[in-house]
C-alpha cells in the first residue's frame, strides 16, 4: 500500500507541473505576453528599455506551433485594431521579427502624407501626444516615402502602422499595410523600464566579468525609470 501511495504522489506531482506549464503556455499564447522595446521608433511614447505587457486576447491571438512562427489557428477576437491602438504584429518582411507601431488607418481608409502631415481620408490627423519629429528636412517622395507618401487606400482586413517617432521609424510607409493574420496583440502597460547602460565597462572576456558585474550592480538603481513602472500605454 505504501509503495502505491508513493507512486500516486509522484504521479500527482508531475500532473500538477504539467497542468501549471500548460496553463502558463495557454496564458502566454492567448491572453497576455511580455515584450521588450529595443529601438526608438515609438519614442517618446515607448522608450528603449521599456518592458511591456500586451493583451493578445482582444484581437484573437494566433495559436502557433511551439518555438516556431507557424500558426495553427486564431482564437476568436473581441475586435480588430482601431486607429490609435498601439499594436504588436509580425513584420511583413521578416516573419521572425515582432514589431510594435501605432495603427493610424484601417481597411477602406485612404492614407496620405504631405510634408510630414498625415491625412486620413483627406483630413489631417492629429499626432499622438508624445510623438515627435527629429529632422527638419522634408524629403521628396522620389527619395523616400518618409515625409511624402500616397495616397494609398488600405485594403480590407489590413492596417496601416506608423511609429510615433515619425522621422525614425520603418513602418507602413515603406512596406505598406499589415494583414490581419500578422496581428498579435495590443500594448497594455509598462511593468519594467530602465535606461540603456552606455557608461561601460563592457564584457570583453572572462577577465572583465567582475568589473562588468560590479559596475552593473552599482549603477542599476539609477538606471531604473521608476516613474514609468505601471504606466498604461496610450
**Mean pLDDT of all residues belonging to the chain:** 86
112, pLDDT greater than 80: yes
Q: Is the pTM for the entire model greater than 0.85?
A: no
Q: Would you state the pLDDT for residue 69? A: 58
Fold classified for 24-228? Umud Fragment, subunit A (2.10.109)
Q: Where are the beta strands (DSSP E) in 117-210?
A: 117-120, 123-124, 149-153, 158-162, 178-179, 183-193
Q: Decide if 41 is catalytic.
A: yes
Q: What are phi and psi of 41, to 5 degrees?
A: -70, -15
Q: Decide if 101 is catalytic.
A: yes
Q: Which of 56, 101, 184, 186 is catalytic?
A: 101
Q: How confident is the model at residue 12 (pLDDT cuts 50, 70, 90)?
A: low
Residue pair 73/113 in contact (Cβ under 8 Å)? The answer is no
Q: Which of 16, 39, 41, 91 is catalytic?
A: 41
**130-146 residue pLDDT tens:** 999 999 999 999 999 99
When pLDDT is averaged across residues 73-87 and rounded to a whole number, the result is: 89
Residue pair 167/134 in contact (Cβ under 8 Å)? The answer is yes
How far is Cα 146 from Cα 129, in angstroms, rounded to an integer? 20
How far is Cα 43 from Cα 223, in angstroms, rounded to an integer? 18
Domain range annotation of the chain: 24-228
How far is Cα 216 from Cα 59, in angstroms, rounded to an integer? 39
Amino acid at each position: 500500500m505504501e509503495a502505491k501511495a508513493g507512486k500516486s504522489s509522484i504521479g500527482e506531482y508531475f500532473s500538477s507541473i504539467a497542468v501549471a506549464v500548460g496553463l502558463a503556455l495557454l496564458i502566454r499564447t492567448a491572453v497576455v505576453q511580455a515584450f521588450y522595446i529595443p529601438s526608438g521608433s515609438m519614442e517618446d511614447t515607448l522608450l528603449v528599455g521599456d518592458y511591456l505587457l500586451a493583451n493578445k486576447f482582444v484581437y484573437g491571438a494566433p495559436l502557433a506551433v511551439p518555438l516556431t512562427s507557424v500558426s495553427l489557428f486564431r482564437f476568436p477576437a473581441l475586435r480588430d485594431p482601431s486607429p490609435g491602438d498601439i499594436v504588436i504584429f509580425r513584420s511583413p518582411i521578416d516573419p521572425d521579427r515582432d514589431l510594435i507601431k501605432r495603427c493610424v488607418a484601417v481597411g477602406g481608409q485612404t492614407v496620405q502624407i504631405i510634408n510630414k502631415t498625415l491625412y486620413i481620408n483627406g483630413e489631417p490627423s492629429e499626432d499622438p501626444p508624445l510623438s515627435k519629429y527629429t529632422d527638419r528636412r522634408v524629403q521628396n517622395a522620389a527619395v523616400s516615402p518618409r515625409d511624402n507618401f500616397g495616397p494609398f487606400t488600405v485594403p480590407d482586413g489590413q492596417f496601416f502602422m506608423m511609429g510615433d517617432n515619425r522621422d525614425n521609424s520603418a513602418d507602413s510607409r515603406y512596406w505598406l499595410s499589415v494583414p490581419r493574420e500578422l496581428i498579435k496583440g495590443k500594448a497594455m502597460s509598462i511593468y519594467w523600464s530602465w535606461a540603456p547602460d552606455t557608461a561601460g565597462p563592457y564584457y570583453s572576456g572572462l577577465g572583465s566579468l567582475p568589473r562588468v558585474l560590479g559596475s552593473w550592480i552599482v549603477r542599476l538603481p539609477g538606471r531604473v525609470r521608476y516613474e514609468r513602472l505601471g504606466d498604461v500605454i496610450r
